[in-house]
Amino acid sequence: MKKKQILFAFTSKGWVNEYGIDFNKVKWFLFDSSEWMNLMVAYVKVSSDEKNDTNIQNKLTEGKVVDKGVKVKSKLVIPFFNLSGDMYVVTDYSSEMKLLYNEKSLGIFLKDTKDLVQIGRADIIKIHEYFFGTN
């Protein structure tokens, strides 16, 4: 069985110019299921009151991230904070990025380029299902 991976390409201003693509302005991140789970655990921790890594990982393995939190089958098992307006909660994820939670997306702030990339909830669900099957 082949190892599943997903490749993200994050672009910075000026990544396309009159000569084509400036690959110096593209940041690449390769995620396998383990790294994706680490990212989702950190995201759930910043998005909710739940701080126990093992509990979060178990719930994510059984369920998926939805708009209001983590659901297992049809039950919301880890509710997310209810933020209003343009509020964000931020955590330091790695030496390369910070994670941001708002009610609509996962934000990834790239420290090197100072770019903010948002991944919509529907895309998070699709990626999670790709790695862990439909739940």
Q: Is the pTM of this model over 0.85?
A: yes
Helix, strand, coil percentages, rounded to 5, for the chain: 30, 40, 30
Whether 47 is covered by a domain: the verdict is: yes
The predicted-structure confidence for 20-43, as pLDDT tens digits, reads as follows: 888 888 899 999 999 999 999 999
Whether 10 is covered by a domain: the verdict is: no
Whether 88 is covered by a domain: the verdict is: yes
Whether 52 is covered by a domain: the verdict is: yes
Question: Using CA atoms, how far apart are residues 28 and 42, in angstroms rounded to an integer?
Answer: 20
Domain interval for residue 72: 33-132
The predicted-structure confidence for 48-97, as pLDDT tens digits, reads as follows: 999 999 999 999 999 988 888 999 999 999 999 988 777 889 999 999 99
Question: Using CA atoms, how far apart are residues 124 and 15, in angstroms rounded to an integer?
Answer: 25
DSSP string, 92-103: E-SSSEEEEE-S
Whether 108 is covered by a domain: the verdict is: yes
Whether 21 is covered by a domain: the verdict is: no
Number of domains in the chain: 1
